[in-house]
Amino acid sequence: MRGIRQLAKHLDISIGTVSRALNGKPDVNDETRRRVLAAAEELGYVANQSGRSLRQGTTNVIGLMIESSKETLENGDNFFLGLTGGLQSVFARHKLDLVMLPCPSEEDSQEYLKRMVARRVVDAMIISATQRVDKRIDFLAKAKIPFVALGRSASGGNYTWIDLDFEGVAACAVERLISKGHRRIAIAAPSNDINLGYIFVDAYRQALERHGIEYDPALVIRVKSSEQGGYQAGDDLLGLEIKPTAIILIYELMAIGLYRRLVEAGIVPGRDLAVIGFREEPRARFLQPTLTCFRMSLRDLGVKLAETLLATMPAYAEFYPKGARNTIWPLELAPGESDAFTLNS
Amino acid sequence: MRGIRQLAKHLDISIGTVSRALNGKPDVNDETRRRVLAAAEELGYVANQSGRSLRQGTTNVIGLMIESSKETLENGDNFFLGLTGGLQSVFARHKLDLVMLPCPSEEDSQEYLKRMVARRVVDAMIISATQRVDKRIDFLAKAKIPFVALGRSASGGNYTWIDLDFEGVAACAVERLISKGHRRIAIAAPSNDINLGYIFVDAYRQALERHGIEYDPALVIRVKSSEQGGYQAGDDLLGLEIKPTAIILIYELMAIGLYRRLVEAGIVPGRDLAVIGFREEPRARFLQPTLTCFRMSLRDLGVKLAETLLATMPAYAEFYPKGARNTIWPLELAPGESDAFTLNS
DNA sequence: TTGCCACACCAAAACGTTTCCGGAAAGCGC
DNA sequence: GCGCTTTCCGGAAACGTTTTGGTGTGGCAA
């Protein structure tokens, strides 16, 4: 099938009418519409996206930008794939398609984004791994491209974002440990400039201070958010003069390396040191003792992301009443054995 | 910047000349070209992709189709992300962009593919997880869309594919085990219709028979390609009347579950049962004892995939001399402790 | 009858780009 | 000076679609 023109000729109808029939526009007789739809189905006609995009100035494609940093690659990450299910279930209702745009690790992420946007390959963007100061946000705002950020920047300013409830998680973890008698609680945070690290440590600090425990910077261990990072964290922890009795990990992946380092040192997690991880990671499920951690549904988060994004787009706003611009996404505590160690005795 | 027209007007040059200047076509004075490039840079002009695609009939986008099956999601998988690095490094040379197209698990993969292709959103496709009989291949061939399949179908027929060297891996694993005295070697293969399962088991069978060991179907354990599948495989293995002394796993992920089941049964991997895994998986790196397995560079595989694909596209064929249509990708043995168990004593 | 309106459709313009074709200007050999 | 080629550029068509404005038909009320 060569195009709408052929289809129109085949039906002996003008192309305008065919177009309106296919797109569910008014001003077309029911019988005519039926015929058009039937013929399109039969001949396997599907509208050429380029032509449509050119005319409408819209591509009907939403981009999910992915950082394929070395760290992400090493770790492997089902995070984005987990999101796609929820995203697509919402987008499908509006005949929108999702594409994942992996930013090459060699290319500057802002340059990449700029290229994708300037080429008009997507109508809107979802960005993630928000930096403390993230130039992508200014760029998208200035270019008037609808977007939602997964993760807030330091300013937290005037744009749409969804972020995980780091405050809640940190508070919950800290209080749980305190209730077991721990006073000297370490935290393993990421060493790069991603903002969630700062938020998490801040929340940890506040939770401590609420319970009258002095914040000790020495207990904040900055390492890579990876298995290796966890091992390194174990190393750093063992090097401390006064050893902590508990540790909170900002990425569960760290638990794998941490466990290994602990075992090497003859320390049994859960018995000699309480460990709490942050985000449930399939890869951490096998750990012995099982890791106490915080869970969430990636699919549900995807749905929320999609709905939030569409709410910012004029064409779809009617379906998604404008709620709050920013959402804090809750997580659920999943108790395990790794924080069984208690000092109350 | 509104379009090439504005740019042309600003330079007081015709749009045709501007277009030629930007695209590196001849028939443009060096000085003029310089001015155009400078102005484009200054005004931030980037060609609208829709207009270009419409005119050229080409999108300059390559799609990497991803199955986001429940299994993939549960497992988490950095496989595709690992591929993107290599793919993009090649595509970038030709100003091609890569998009990952995650097929919603609710949608039939062929329907999804058909939609993406009919819409002309990509010029070419990379498909993966090839089924034994894969309708996508016929469809793409008939639609004359350049594509390369990662994984061959049962027919192995008349299309371009790249596949891992299952024969080599299976033979190497079997021989390694035989040389340690094992005669009763089990294999854990996937239970779905993905073709690599069949290829792998066939190769395993042939390797056995080459060494005069009778093939016993009871030793082929079909389970899900996941951690749970590995646990199940352990279960099945323990239920066998005559226990095998070694097992080959088609996915390393299985090793996690298998180890757990073995430990539960008081069996120590590597001491009481030899275990060899197939594809190196970051998540399996922490296992104790370390897993003997086969490695490959995902990045290199991505490069090969990209080059193979471009070789099939007339517009790029000149850069990539037409080699063999099909490639068997080698893997490297990475010895670990899990197959230390030997019967030679 | 006349006027009005709703309905269903057609013709044409527009979206932004690339590419084909023709032609002006300049250079060159004779 | 003449014919030829080369160099460079402008004009216009074309890609496939949506959308706007216009048109003819028939029904209905005045």
Reported as a single tens digit per residue, the pLDDT across B108-158 is 888 899 888 888 889 999 999 898 999 999 999 988 899 999 999 998 778
pLDDT number for residue A163: 95
Task: Tell whether B181 and B282 lie within a shared domain.
Answer: yes
- State the nearest residue by CA to the C1' of D16: A51
B21 touches strand C (CB under 7 A): no
Chain A residues 216-235 with a CB less than 8 Å from chain B = 227
CA distances from A240 to A213, A236, A244 (A): 18, 7, 8
Task: Tell whether A153 and A214 lie within a shared domain.
Answer: no
Task: Tell whether B158 and B213 lie within a shared domain.
Answer: no
pLDDT number for residue B75: 53
- Which residues of chain B make contact with A257, given a CB cutoff of 8 A? 286
Tell me if chain A has a CB within 8 Å of the CB of B118. Answer: yes
A27 touches strand C (CB under 7 A): yes
Q: pLDDT averaged over chain B?
A: 90
A166 CA to centre of own chain: 14
Task: Tell whether B112 and B132 lie within a shared domain.
Answer: yes
pLDDT digits (tens, 9 = 90+) for A129-165: 898 999 999 999 988 899 999 999 998 778 999 999 9
Task: Name which of B73, B99, B115 is nearest A81 (Cβ-Cβ).
Answer: B73
Q: What is the mean pLDDT of residues B183-203?
A: 92
Q: What is the mean pLDDT of residues B307-330?
A: 91
pLDDT number for residue A344: 67
State phi, psi for B13 to the nearest 5 degrees.
-135, 155
pLDDT number for residue B219: 96
Task: Tell whether A311 and A268 lie within a shared domain.
Answer: no
pLDDT number for residue A282: 67
pLDDT number for residue B338: 95
Report protein residues in contact with nucleic acid strand D, where contact means CB under 7 Å. Answer: A 2-5, 15-16, 19-20, 22-23, 25, 27, 45, 47-48, 50-52, 54-56; B 12-17, 27-32, 51, 54-55, 57
Report if residue A54 sits inside a domain: no
Here the CATH number for the domain that contains residue B20 is: 1.10.260.40
Task: Tell whether B32 and B94 lie within a shared domain.
Answer: no
Q: Which of A119-128, B265-274, B281-290 has the lowest mean pLDDT?
A: B281-290
Report if residue A55 sits inside a domain: no
Cα angle, residue B146 at apex, residues B152 and A103 outer, rounded to 5°: 90
Report if residue A279 sits inside a domain: yes
Confirm if B251 and B190 have CB atoms less than 8 A apart: yes
Nearest residue on chain B to A98, alpha-carbon basis: B101
Positive or negative, the Cα torsion across A28, A31, A32, A36? positive
Closest approach of B162 to chain A, Cα-based (Å):
22
Task: Tell whether A8 and A91 lie within a shared domain.
Answer: no
> Whole-angstrom Cα distance, residue B331 to residue A73?
19
Report if residue A342 sits inside a domain: no
- Which residues of chain B make contact with A99, given a CB cutoff of 8 A? 99-101
Q: Which residue has the higher pLDDT, B19 or B114?
A: B19
Task: Tell whether A184 and A90 lie within a shared domain.
Answer: no
> Whole-angstrom Cα distance, residue A207 to residue A210?
5
Here the CATH number for the domain that contains residue B99 is: 3.40.50.2300
Task: Tell whether A133 and A68 lie within a shared domain.
Answer: yes
Report if residue A87 sits inside a domain: yes
Confirm if B254 and B220 have CB atoms less than 8 A apart: no
Domain housing A29: 4-47
Report if residue B274 sits inside a domain: yes
Asked if the Cβ–Cβ distance from B118 to A54 is below 8 Å, we say no
Question: pLDDT-based confidence at A240, cuts 50/70/90?
Answer: very high
Question: pLDDT-based confidence at A70, cuts 50/70/90?
Answer: low
Q: What is the mean pLDDT of residues A273-292?
A: 83
pLDDT digits (tens, 9 = 90+) for A173-220: 999 999 999 999 999 999 888 898 999 999 999 999 999 999 999 999
Asked if the Cβ–Cβ distance from B85 to A99 is below 8 Å, we say no
C-alpha neighbours within 13 Å on the C-beta side of residue A191: 13
Task: Tell whether B158 and B303 lie within a shared domain.
Answer: yes
Domain count, chain A: 3
Report if residue B75 sits inside a domain: yes
* DSSP result, A134-191: -HHHHHHHHTT--EEEES--SS--SS-EEEE-HHHHHHHHHHHHHHTT---EEEEEES
Report if residue A259 sits inside a domain: yes
Q: What is the mean pLDDT of residues A283-291?
A: 78
Nucleotides, chain D, CB distance < 7 Å: 7-12, 14-22
Task: Tell whether A285 and A176 lie within a shared domain.
Answer: yes
A54 touches strand C (CB under 7 A): yes
Q: Which of A169-178, A268-277, A309-318 has the lowest mean pLDDT?
A: A309-318
pLDDT digits (tens, 9 = 90+) for B46-67: 899 999 999 999 999 999 998 8
Q: What is the mean pLDDT of residues A10-32?
A: 92
The separation, in Å, between residue A131 CA and nucleotide C6 C1' comes to: 57
- Which residues of chain B make contact with A88, given a CB cutoff of 8 A? 102, 104
> Whole-angstrom Cα distance, residue B46 to residue A304?
32
pLDDT number for residue B105: 83
C-alpha neighbours within 13 Å on the C-beta side of residue A7: 26
Chain B residues 48-107 with a CB less than 8 Å from chain A = 48-51, 53-54, 59, 61, 66, 68, 72-79, 81-82, 84-85, 88-89, 92, 97-102, 104-106
pLDDT number for residue B194: 86
Task: Tell whether A260 and A290 lie within a shared domain.
Answer: yes
Asked if the Cβ–Cβ distance from A77 to B72 is below 8 Å, we say no
pLDDT number for residue B328: 96
pLDDT number for residue B69: 64
The separation, in Å, between residue B208 CA and nucleotide C22 C1' comes to: 74
